A = this chain, B = another copy of it.
Amino acid sequence: MVDGLKPRPLSGFLLLGILVPIALWFILRPFLDPVPSVPALYTSSGFSILAFVTTLYLVPALGPRFVQANLKGRDLLKTYSTPIPESQGLVCASVYLLSLILFIPFAFSNVFADRFSNQQKSVHGLAIDEFPHHQLSVYLSSIISLMMATLLGFLDDVFDIRWRHKLPVPIIASIPLLIVYFAERGNTNVVVPKPLRPLIGSLINLGYLYMSLLSTFSTNSVNILAGINGSEVLQAITITISVIVNDLLYLPWPIDWRIPLHLLGNQSEIGSEIRIGGVWSAGMAHGSRVLVERHLFSLYFMLPLLGVCTGFLYHNWYPARAFPGDTLCYLTGMAFAVVGIQAHFSKTLLLFFLPQILNFLLSCPQLSGMAPCPRHRLPRFDPETNLLHPSTVAFERPPSMRTSSTLHLLSLLGLTRRTKHPKSGQIFEATNQTILNLFLITLGPMTEKQLVKVLGATQVAGSVFAFLIRYGLAGLVYDGDGR
């Protein structure tokens, strides 16, 4: 088993010989004629591939330094106790932040515009000289928030901040975001679902409260759905890909896309307008430059995130050679909050968090202190069979009436399993209420590798469902363009 803990092999030829040239082509493409309609997107893709390769190499290379600096942990669901480098999300964060910073001149300077104006101006299509330079401060404030999340996540790893103390940490990290929003007098109004409108009016300024809660949720919800190899990164990657797919729907594509929404029985104006061709009007943006810009902004943050997370997953996959630490959860959570807030699609974003929302709701009895909550709620490992079983927590005192009835209800729904005292009928043990335990209760014991695959499949299913709701059913709840 210890044999499996050597760093995973990396194919130098595949990475340096194929991926790096592809990345360089993407970065250089905007400088070649004809200039593409969204040149900075090519650069961003190139940087993301480089970020992927860099993370792939740096994580195993820096592993021993992490162990040396006492940033290490034992894998709790294994037979061996070899120390595994912990907090290596820091490597991802550093690569990610650096690629975001190096990207600035491509997105916010005239580097492409100068070239562009030398040519004849394209008749249609978005070019970089139309990119809003004033958004630079928004971009920078997002980087500050991400950097703060990284710093705080790493501090959490080093100082081991207590659970309850670190809940509000993402709020601190979102301060730069909110303050620049305020300084720029941003539109923090949120569209209210139709049924509620008569109650609170068509628009309400939930604003800052909503935005800081969003970052708290997106950070902590991934953090509490952890415990098995690859779980945090897999969630992050699925959500990132979902956001990217959603962004791509709004981009000006040279070819005409048609999404068969009518199959879903949706005959609203969205379905019909999608057919209109041309670079500017294609996609879901319906010719709105603002929408295109927002989703480009989102892509610039999501593509490199996908790069570093995928690179990290290679080493974090079962059996893990590297642990992400809280740093990665803070980073990814804040990145999702940033794009949700700055690109104005926070409700769509929340739809991609369905498994996390379910896990959070399941965890409520334990998180609220109603039921006892151990430090780790990860499944129980049986070294004999190599299988994971639902983990349980013992009640030191007999549970209150309220707790008993809650557990009874959860148990009826098949969401938890409790053990009653044979004589008194009192509950003295119950499974930890997490989605991972729920999988084990429903599907029976399985290996860690199977469990993480089930989690990944659930996340993907959740995202597919989210897209169906967003583009199939949104017309029922919101106006056509409700985000």
- Contacts from A to B (Cβ < 8 Å): 65, 68-71, 90, 97-98, 101-102, 104-105, 108-110, 136-137, 140-141, 143-144, 147-148, 150-151, 154-155, 158-160, 172, 175-176, 179-180, 182-185
The answer to whether B151 and A147 have CB atoms under 8 Å apart is yes
CB distance from A311 to the nearest CB of B (A): 20
A151 CB contact (under 8 Å) in B105, B141, B150, B172: B150
Task: Using A147-B144, A185-B109 as known contacts, say yes or no to A104 and B180 having CB atoms under 8 A apart.
Answer: yes
Known: A140-B137, A144-B144, A179-B102. A110 touches B185 (CB 8 A): yes
- Residue of B105, B148, B180 near A179 (CB, 8 A) is B105
CA distance A270 to B179 in the complex (A): 40
Is B69 within 8 A of A159, CB to CB?
yes
Nearest chain B CB to A68 CB, angstrom units? 8
Complex CA–CA separation, A141 to B182 (angstroms):
18
Determine the distance from Cα of A23 to Cα of B380 in the docked complex, in whole angstroms: 54
Contacting residues, chain B, for A147 (C-beta < 8 A): 144, 147-148, 151
Q: A101 and B136: CB pair below 8 A?
A: no
Q: How far does the alpha carbon of A15 sit from the alpha carbon of B137 in the complex, in Å?
A: 36
> Contacts of A172 on B, CB cut-off 8 Å?
98
A sample of 11 cross-chain residue pairs with beta-carbon separation below 8 angstroms, ordered by A number, consists of: A65-B159, A69-B159, A104-B180, A105-B182, A108-B183, A109-B182, A136-B183, A137-B137, A140-B140, A140-B176, A151-B154
* A150 and B152 alpha carbons, distance in the complex (Å): 12
Nearest chain B CB to A80 CB, angstrom units: 25
Q: Which 9 A-B pairs give the minimum distances between C-beta atoms? A: A140-B140, A109-B183, A137-B137, A136-B137, A104-B179, A108-B183, A147-B147, A105-B183, A69-B159
Quickly give the copy total for this chain.
Answer: 2
- B140 with A144: CB separation less than 8 A: yes
A372 to chain B minimum Cβ distance, whole angstroms, is: 26
Whether the pair B137, A101 counts as a contact (CB closer than 8 A) is no
Which residues on B sit within 8 Å (CB–CB) of A179? 101-102, 104-105
Q: Among B65, B97, B140, which residue has its beta carbon within 8 angstroms of that of A180?
A: B140
Q: In the complex, A150→B90 CA distance in Å?
A: 14
- Is the CB–CB distance between B136 and A180 below 8 Å? yes
If A69-B158, A104-B180 are given as contacts, then 18 extra A-B residue pairs at C-beta distance below 8 Å, sorted by A number, are A69-B159, A90-B155, A98-B172, A102-B179, A105-B182, A108-B183, A109-B182, A109-B185, A136-B137, A136-B180, A137-B137, A140-B140, A140-B180, A143-B144, A143-B176, A147-B148, A150-B151, A158-B158
User: How far, in Å, is A188 (CB) from chain B's closest CB?
Assistant: 14
Chain B residues with CB under 8 A of A158: 69, 71, 158
Query: A101 touching B182 by the CB < 8 A rule?
Result: no
Q: CA–CA, A155 to B69, complex, Å?
A: 10
Residues of B within 8 A of A98 (CB): 172, 175
Q: A69-B158, A159-B65 are in contact. Are A144 and B101 (CB under 8 A)?
A: yes
- Give the residues in chain B near A185, CB-CB below 8 Å: 109-110
CB distance from A417 to the nearest CB of B (A): 38
Q: Is B175 a contact of A102 with CB atoms below 8 Å? A: yes
Which residues in B have their C-beta under 8 angstroms from that of A68?
Answer: 159
Considering the chains assembled together, what is the distance between the CA atoms of A71 and B109 in angstroms? Answer: 42
Residues in B neighbouring A101, C-beta threshold 8 A: 144, 175-176, 179
Q: Report the separation of the CA atoms of residues A419 and B375 in the bound assembly, to the nearest whole angstrom.
A: 61
Residues of B within 8 A of A154 (CB): 151, 154
- The distance in angstroms between the C-alpha atoms of A257 and B143, with both chains bound, is 42
Are A104 and B183 touching (Cβ within 8 A)? yes
A136, B180: Cα distance in complex, Å = 9
User: Which residue on chain B has the smallest CB distance to residue A101?
Assistant: B176
- Given the complex, which residues of B lie within 8 Å of A141, measured CB to CB? 140
Interface centre among A109, A140, A147, A172 (most CB of B within 10 A): A140
* Alpha-carbon distance A136/B184, docked complex (angstroms): 10
Instruction: Give Cα A179–Cα B111 distance, bound, in whole angstroms.
Output: 12
Residue pair B160, A69 in contact (C-beta under 8 Å) = yes
Nearest opposing residue in chain B for A66, CB measure: B159
> From A152, which residue of chain B is reached at the shortest CB distance?
B94
Which single residue of chain B is at the shortest CB-CB distance from A62?
A: B159
Chain B residues with Cβ under 8 A from A136's Cβ? 137, 180, 183-184
CB-CB < 8 A to A160: which residues of B? Answer: 69
- A422 to B427: give the CA distance in the assembly, Å: 88
Closest B residue to A180 by CB, please name it.
B104
CA distance A154 to B179 in the complex (A): 26
* Cα–Cα, bound, A71→B157 (Å): 13
Residues of B within 8 A of A71 (CB): 158
| A103 → B minimal CB distance (Å) | 9
